[in-house]
Chains A and B, each alone.
Chain A
Amino acid sequence: MTPLQKRAWLGLGVGVGMSLAILAVFIARGVTSFDDDLVLRAIAYVLCVGGLLVYGITLRIKRRKPGRSEVLIDERDKEIVRKATMAQLWAVLLSLFIWAIALTEVYWGQKSIPIVFVYLIAISGLIVSILAQAIGILIGYRRML
């Protein structure tokens, strides 16, 4: 397994972990209480920032076996990342499009959208971004290996 594949699996783990944790927190404390519940917002912030920090710090750690000088990333890896980044961009755009249309349709009659959804759009954009790149990289390796 290449370092990039390990990174993709990590991204998948962080993305799924963050999704489940945030979902669990919102279910446990109730989505409707978001406006008044500072603890819920704090937990959600910590989960988002914590997840990103874990992901970011781990990306910085280069695992090179002692005594070996082989190349870790080459042109094929860069090509896979380039394609995965395009998939990531489209996935985030699609998620934003779906959120916008769905919220507009659901809250059309009320002429206003609850503020919690702005927060959820931001979190979901982040998670979709991490997941899409990770899945794109893993699919890229399946096709090119």
Chain B
Amino acid sequence: MPKAEISNRIRRLRFDRGEMTQQELADRVGCTRQTIIAVEAGKYVPSLSLAFQIARVFGVPLEEVFQYEE
């Protein structure tokens, strides 16, 4: 089975939303700033629940935030 990678555009979306800080995003989705850093860097894949919350903060569909690549 090929290895799957989940990439994301959170950093881009934050800057597009008036340079929202990582702490602001963390506060709005109810996680720590370190988790946002880890997700942005691709070191941690968030749960579906957190992924949906992040997408909701940016007002975009989930697929615009996270991309599944084989």
Task: Please list the residues of chain A having a beta carbon within 8 angstroms of any beta carbon in chain B.
Answer: 2, 69-77, 143-145
CB atoms of B31 and A75 under 8 A apart: yes
| Nearest CB in chain B to that of A141: its residue | B34
B20 within 8 A of A: no
CB atoms of A71 and B34 under 8 A apart: no
Q: Which residues of A contact B38 (CB under 8 A)?
A: 76, 144-145
Q: Which residues of A contact B31 (CB under 8 A)?
A: 71, 74-76
Give the shortest distance, in Å, between B22 (CB) and chain A (any CB): 11
Q: Which residues of A contact B47 (CB under 8 A)?
A: 75
Q: Which residues of B contact A143 (CB under 8 A)?
A: 43
With A and B bound together, what is the CA distance between A75 and B52 in angstroms?
14
CB atoms of A70 and B32 under 8 A apart: yes
| Nearest CB in chain A to that of B23: its residue | A70
| Nearest CB in chain B to that of A3: its residue | B32
Which residues in chain B, 29-60, are within 8 Å of chain A measured between CB atoms?
Answer: 30-35, 37-38, 41, 43-44, 46-47, 49-50
CB atoms of A75 and B33 under 8 A apart: no
B5 within 8 A of A: no
Q: Which residues of A contact B30 (CB under 8 A)?
A: 71, 74
Q: Which residues of B contact A74 (CB under 8 A)?
A: 30-32, 35
Which residues in chain B, 6-38, are within 8 Å of chain A measured between CB atoms?
Answer: 23, 26-27, 30-35, 37-38
Q: Which residues of A contact B35 (CB under 8 A)?
A: 74-77
Q: Which residues of A contact B49 (CB under 8 A)?
A: 75
With A and B bound together, what is the CA distance between A76 and B39 in angstroms?
10
With A and B bound together, what is the CA distance between A76 and B34 in angstroms?
9
30 examples of A-B residue contacts, CB within 8 angstroms:
A2-B32, A2-B34, A69-B27, A70-B23, A70-B26, A70-B27, A71-B26, A71-B30, A71-B31, A71-B32, A72-B32, A74-B30, A74-B31, A74-B35, A75-B31, A75-B35, A75-B47, A75-B49, A76-B34, A76-B38, A76-B44, A77-B35, A143-B43, A144-B43, A144-B44, A145-B34, A145-B37, A145-B38, A145-B41, A145-B43
